[in-house]
Amino acid sequence: MRPLFVLILSFSSLYAQVDESRLQELGQSYLLPSNLASADSLSEVFADSLWSFISFEANYGKTLTQVSNLSVQLPDDQSFALYTWAVPSAEGGFNFHGFLWNKQWKGSQRLLLRDFGAVDAPYRWLKAGDWIGAICYDILTTRDKGQKVYTLLTFRPGLSYHTKYIDGIELGSKSERCHFGSRIFNIRSNGDERYARRPYRVQFRYNSSLSAAVRWDKKHKGIICDHLAPSKSELLERWFAYG
């Protein structure tokens, strides 16, 4: 029995040692060009370690700023935490991964997110862990009909074009009822993007050689969408054709 006891203690010690510096090291390892062939397996080690990290209640709210491959975002009320990251693919492009931690959920408070893909993204109302895979860089809190609404600003890089989303999230009372997408978007077009029907999220697609911004502006209390470089005033609002 003693060897088994020692083994159990060793595994417990391993999980207890997962901290920010260790996550930083693991996150950088799969991004190294020399490790591209093994990026998937290395990223799984990172994901398992991050899951272990968020399994400790004391780690809730830690934004892990030293872990540069990871984005950790919380709304102003700190009611949930969203962890997103991308893994380079050997075929080009990225695979997207995420965890969601909501301390208010009944039952399991942590949810593994699965990238649904970007096909018909505006019209997808996704649940049970499916989401339009992307890096979340901000969470906005507003009100709609007196109810608190959370809106995600996310970025999905691609090969020929990039996409930024204004996405919604409806948390529900338990993880199984969590939805990505929202009914708050009453819009039929944004620039050269036309919607066949009311979307669950708004998307901005633009040439991957360009820079663009989709951000919250406190002064105007709204979301600002703008190309940053190069500037071409004659192509105003032509997001997809720009460049």
Determine the structural domain holding residue 62 and report its residue range. 1-68
- Contacts (Cβ under 8 Å, ≥6 apart) of 205: 161, 162, 163, 193, 239, 240
Give yes or no: residues 206 and 174 share one domain.
yes
Q: Do both 214 and 180 map to the same domain?
A: yes
pLDDT tens digits, one per residue of 105-117 = 999 999 999 999 9
Please give the full DSSP string across 149-210, using - where no structure is assigned. Answer: EEEEEEEE--SSEEEEEEEEEE--SBGGG-EE--TT---SEETTEE-SS--SSEEEEEETTS
Is the distance from CB of 124 to CB of 116 less than 8 angstroms? yes
Distance CA 233, CA 212 (A): 14
161 shares a domain with 89: yes
Nearest to 201 by CA among 76, 116, 81, 93: 116
Mean pLDDT of the region 130-153? 94
Indicate if 40 and 86 belong to the same structural domain: no
Q: Are 61 and 53 in contact (CB under 8 A)?
A: no
89 with 16, same domain: the answer is no
Domain boundary among 9, 35, 68: 68
Query: Helix H segments across the chain?
Result: 2-16, 20-29, 39-54
Domain tally for the chain?
2
Greatest alpha-carbon pair distance for the chain in Å reads: 76
Query: Do both 55 and 161 map to the same domain?
Result: no
Instruction: Write down which residue in 68, 84, 111 finishes a domain.
Output: 68
Residue of 69, 62, 56, 64 whose CA lies nearest to 95: 69
Distance CA 53, CA 77 (A): 22
pLDDT in tens, 29-88: 999 999 988 999 999 999 999 999 999 999 999 999 999 999 999 999 999 999 999 999
pTM comes to 0.87
| pLDDT confidence of residue 105 | 96
Buried b (16+ CB within 10 A) or exposed e, 18-34: beeeebbebbebbbeee
Residue 91: band (very low, low, confident or very high) from pLDDT cuts 50, 70, 90: confident
Question: Both 174 and 138 in a single domain?
Answer: yes
Q: What is the pLDDT of residues 171-194, one digit of tens each?
A: 999 999 999 999 899 888 877 788
